[in-house]
Amino acid sequence: MANQSTATEFLLMGFSDERDMQIFHVVMFLSIYLITLLGNFLLITAVILNHNLHSPMYFFLVNLSFSDICYISTTVPKSMATSLTNNKLISFSGCVTQVFLVVVLASGELFILTVMAYDRYIAICHPLQYTLIMNWNTCLQMAAASWVFGVINSVVNTTNTFKLLFCRSNTIQQFFCDIPQLLLLSCSDTKANKWVLFAVVVFGSLFCFSCVLFSYGYIFSTVLKIPSVQARYKAFSTCMPHLAVFSLFLSTAIFSYLRPRALSAPAVDLLAAILYTVLPPLMNPIIYSLRNKEIQMTLMRMSKNCISCSHWMRFSKGV
């Protein structure tokens, strides 16, 4: 081991070596990236501008959108640059940074989604105590705790990963620096790393899943007791988008990290990574916007104001 040198840079696997497919990849990822940024920025702006949306639920939704913007920006731009320039190199420090940010943002997003389930539980099952329990101080502490847990998780896994020697190869079979792929390149003993990664993913997922399951168990039992059909529909309409987003994110993360080796192949790994890092940030604002009338109304008013402002500017120039 003393005579073996560790990698100082890595090569990311592109989606294709054919130029036409590389351009197609750039166009597709650029479209997804711009739609994701637009959707999440519009959602954040709608919450900020509408004072009726200044509530704990939408506070956590803004945190989720901010996380989605950062999350997709950590992997997709680098992947597009790789295909556009055909330069697959990423520095050692760049790889460390990418791994750290991906784990922080993925962990933070999972914890925020769990907190959002608790918020819905308090709002529906204990409505008279909602403002007392979910005050702004509590909301800030819960959001901060989500990010702190994400940072701690990332520090542990990033440190464990990059203290290894990478001397087998420097080609990562993925479009970004991913911990499972990096462990395959190491000539060190990675058993402890794999157990730590497995334990973190399993226990973290089980904890969040259990919290969400108990929250929605109480929510559904409470909602079904409401005599008014309209009130039941309103309660369900505020919960179903969150449940859909949580299920999407958790299922894609588990498939990416805990699927058996028999299902592991370059094409499957790429698909799993896209489902895990690209699909949730793209779908989250769409799911919430389609199911939330308050956000829809705010976005419609924003678009009308923009059109009116555009017409006024044209009229002013004409005069």
187 belongs to a structural domain: yes
318 belongs to a structural domain: no
3-state secondary structure the chain: CCCCCCCCEEEECCCCCCHHHHHHHHHHHHHHHHHHHHHHHHHHHHHHHCHHHCCHHHHHHHHHHHHHHHHHHHHHHHHHHHHHHCCCEEEHHHHHHHHHHHHHHHHHHHHHHHHHHHHHHHHHHCHHHHHHHCCHHHHHHHHHHHHHHHHHHHHHHHHHHHCCCCCCCCEECCCCCCHHHHHHHCCCCCHHHHHHHHHHHHHHHHHHHHHHHHHHHHHHHHHCCCCCHHHHHHHHHHHHHHHHHHHHHHHHHHHHHHCCHHHCCHHHHHHHHHHHHCHHHHHHHHHHHHHCHHHHHHHHHHHHHHHHHHHHHHHHHHC
| Residue 2 in this model has a pLDDT that exceeds 60 | no
83 belongs to a structural domain: yes
What is the residue range of 174's domain? Answer: 9-292
Domain count, the chain: 1
31 belongs to a structural domain: yes
Domain CATH for 136: 1.20.1070.10
- Candidate ranges 100-114, 162-176, 248-262; pick with highest mean pLDDT: 100-114
304 belongs to a structural domain: no
- Residues 29-54: pLDDT tens digits? 999 999 999 989 988 988 888 888 88
pTM value is 0.85
301 belongs to a structural domain: no
Confidence of residue 305 (pLDDT cuts 50, 70, 90): low
299 belongs to a structural domain: no
1 belongs to a structural domain: no
